[in-house]
Structure 1
Amino acid sequence: MPRFFFNIRDGYDLDEDDEGIELPDLDAARAEALATVEELRDQLGDAGNIELEIADETGRRLLTVPFFRGQRSSRGR
């Protein structure tokens, strides 16, 4: 099963997930990210540029999920 890493990006700062989570596929990782964002959104106040990045085991960014509505998620590089 692949391991996905959930990094938090605040502008240029990146807080990397060193452990990751084994999940069946990217769809499951996206669902996990959306649930995490939903839980943390109220705690983050006005930090509108925070995003949760999903990366694979090689460190390649696969998907970005913004913490605040009005921003769109995008596929990574």
Structure 2
Amino acid sequence: MPRFYFNIRDGYELDEDEEGIELPDLEAARAEALATVEELRGQLADAANIELEIADESGRRLLTVPFFRGGRGR
């Protein structure tokens, strides 16, 4: 089963997930990212440019999920 890493990017700062999670596929990783963003959104209401990046085991970015859309949180 592939391992996916969920890195948090705040502008130019990157907080890398060093453990990752084994999930069956990218769609499962996307669902995990969306659930995480929904859970953390209220705690990060003052941050404008936060994104959750999904990366594969080689570190390649596969998908980015923004915490806020359309300027919300700015």
Distance 2:35 2:70 in 1: 17
Instruction: Please state whether the residue corresponding to 1:38 is helix, strand or coil.
Output: helix
Aligned residues: 71
Aligned to 1:75: none
What is the CA-CA distance between 1:3 and the residue it aligns to? Answer: 0.0
Aligned to 1:14: 14
Pairwise mapping of residues 1-77 of structure 1 onto structure 2 (< 5 A)? 1-70=1-70
**Alignment-mate amino acid for residue 44 of structure 1:** L
Q: Which runs of 4+ in 1 moved over 2 A?
A: none
**TM-score between the two structures when normalised by the length of structure 1:** 0.89
Instruction: Please state whether the residue corresponding to 2:46 is helix, strand or coil.
Output: coil
What is the CA-CA distance between 1:48 and the residue it aligns to? Answer: 1.4
**TM-score between the two structures when normalised by the length of structure 2:** 0.92
Sequence identity percentage: 87
What is the CA-CA distance between 1:69 and the residue it aligns to? Answer: 2.9
